[in-house]
């Protein structure tokens, strides 16, 4: 659901909760120890005593000299509960001592540190096989689904939950592999710093093993990705035909996720290939040719100004000059002074009386047989612009009252004249 909301909305909603995490090394080790202990002993929850024992274990590893372990365990449990990393699962309150389990957030933090979720050819192969089987089952259900309930429970539900979880598992392991690669890059650096020439073989091994892994993963992602996309496409088509919007959306979203996973494979392989070439060149041109690492020191001395200064020479041909086409300038007309007088003499003209003009028009309308103010107004204002018509309507009424007898009832009707509405009068001469 959240994927369809705007990022701003999501961030604002989470911001309102004022979330914060504050974990020290002991807290993190405590969480990890809980997870490891639960896995080893198949525990679904811990009693308070078990929590304290596990904390003592973590504390002994991280802070062996620290005392008051029980008191610090109480504080640590309280801290983890306040940060929703550990939750009480028995619901008994004060009736009896509680049972606790790691929350989803706590488990996620532990997973990050355990680094077990690194994508390998085996884990990817297993995941894609499970995905293929699960999606094929959903497709079979979609083919026979008839009612909206069947579409929701048999198709949209599994797509949105179980299959999405499997794909999320691949993505999580991809992130694990990203971290592992970062570690490899740092390790190559550490190896070279520690044992310059002696680290060559180990660096070579690291580079080649990662390259092979990425190559294999990319192959699996591309091959199985197209099969999975084909199955999901069939489900989407069936959902469109059955007007099952929820299933269609879920299938579409999963197709996006699979595309993203395949794109990850291609992008990582490209990036690694660039890195691979760089390091190989470095090992060949720098490490092999300078086994005693004397070059760095000599270059450092040279840069520090010991010895004769010099400058590298290089070819510096100027760009080709492309000359512009010569255009003959046109002769400009000479500047002259006008000889005719600029100002004309005023001419007397007869004034125009607007009221006399209006009188003539109104009289013409009345002579033409108009028997109502609306008819006169309509005829006289016919040629006027919209804005002038309103002003002229008042003057027409005034003129009509002078040139004709107006008879008005107590209730005078309102009559539309173009875009105006006026109170109408009956007229006689």
Q: Which residues bind another protein (CB under 8 A)?
A: 185-186, 188-189, 192-193, 274-275, 277-279, 281-282, 285-286, 289-290, 295-296, 298-305, 307-319
Q: Regarding beta strands 99-102 and 86-88, do their DSSP bridges make them parallel or antiparallel, or are they unpaired?
A: antiparallel
| Residue placing its CB nearer to another protein in the complex, 272 or 425 | 272
| Residue placing its CB nearer to another protein in the complex, 194 or 410 | 194
Rg (CA), the chain: 45
At 424 the three-state DSSP class reads coil
CB of 278 to another protein, least distance (A): 5
CB of 56 to another protein, least distance (A): 38
Measured between alpha carbons, how far is 181 from 188 in angstroms, rounded to an integer?
Answer: 11
CB of 272 to another protein, least distance (A): 9
CB of 171 to another protein, least distance (A): 24
71 phi-psi bin (left φ>0, alpha ψ -120 to 50, beta other): alpha
CB of 302 to another protein, least distance (A): 5
CB of 204 to another protein, least distance (A): 13
Strand partners, 102: 86
Outline where 145-199 has alpha helix (H): 148-151, 157-158, 164-194
Measured between alpha carbons, how far is 87 from 107 in angstroms, rounded to an integer?
Answer: 11
| Residue placing its CB nearer to another protein in the complex, 60 or 271 | 271
Q: Taking a C-beta distance cutoff of 8 angstroms, is the pair 109, 133 a contact?
A: no
| Residue placing its CB nearer to another protein in the complex, 150 or 185 | 185
Measured between alpha carbons, how far is 86 from 33 in angstroms, rounded to an integer?
Answer: 13
| Residue placing its CB nearer to another protein in the complex, 5 or 189 | 189
Q: Regarding beta strands 405-407 and 426-428, do their DSSP bridges make them parallel or antiparallel, or are they unpaired?
A: antiparallel
| Residue placing its CB nearer to another protein in the complex, 208 or 421 | 208
């Amino acid at each position: 659901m959240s994927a369809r909301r705007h990022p701003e909305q999501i961030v604002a909603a989470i911001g309102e909760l004022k979330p914060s995490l504050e974990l020290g090394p002991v807290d993190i080790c405590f969480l990890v120890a809980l997870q490891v202990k639960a896995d080893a002993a198949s525990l679904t929850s811990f009693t308070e005593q078990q929590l304290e024992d596990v904390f003592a274990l973590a504390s002994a590893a991280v802070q062996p000299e620290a005392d008051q372990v029980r008191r610090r365990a109480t504080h640590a449990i309280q801290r983890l509960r306040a940060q929703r990393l550990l939750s009480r699962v028995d619901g008994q309150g004060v009736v009896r001592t509680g049972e606790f389990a790691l929350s989803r957030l706590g488990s996620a933090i532990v997973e990050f540190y355990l680094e077990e979720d690194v994508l390998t050819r085996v884990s990817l192969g297993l995941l894609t096989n499970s995905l293929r089987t699960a999606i094929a089952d959903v497709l079979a259900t979609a083919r026979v689904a008839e009612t909206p309930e069947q579409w929701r429970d048999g198709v949209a539900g599994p797509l949105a939950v179980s299959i999405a979880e499997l794909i999320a598992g691949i993505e999580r392991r991809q992130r694990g592999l990203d971290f592992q690669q970062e570690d490899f890059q740092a390790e190559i650096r550490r190896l070279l710093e520690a044992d310059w020439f002696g680290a060559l073989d180990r660096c070579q091994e690291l580079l080649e093993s990662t390259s092979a892994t990425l190559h294999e993963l990319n192959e699996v992602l591309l091959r199985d990705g197209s099969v999975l996309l084909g199955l999901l496409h069939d489900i989407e088509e069936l959902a469109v035909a059955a007007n099952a919007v929820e299933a269609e959306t879920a299938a579409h979203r999963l197709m996006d996720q699979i595309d993203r996973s395949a794109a990850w494979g291609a992008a990582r392989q490209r990036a690694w290939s660039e890195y691979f070439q760089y390091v190989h060149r470095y090992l060949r041109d720098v490490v092999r040719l300078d086994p005693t690492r004397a070059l760095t020191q000599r270059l450092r001395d040279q840069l520090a100004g010991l010895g004769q200064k010099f400058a590298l020479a290089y070819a510096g041909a100027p760009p080709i000059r492309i000359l512009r086409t010569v255009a003959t300038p046109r002769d400009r007309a000479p500047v002259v002074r006008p000889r005719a007088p600029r100002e004309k003499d005023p001419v007397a003209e007869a004034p125009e009386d607007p009221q006399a003009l209006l009188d003539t028009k109104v009289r013409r309308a009345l002579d033409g047989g108009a028997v109502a103010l609306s008819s006169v107004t309509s005829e006289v204002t016919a040629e006027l612009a919209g804005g002038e018509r309103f002003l002229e309507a008042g003057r027409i009424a005034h003129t009509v009252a002078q040139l004709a007898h107006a008879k008005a009832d107590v209730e005078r009707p309102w009559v539309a004249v173009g875009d105006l509405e006026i109170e109408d009068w009956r007229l006689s001469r």
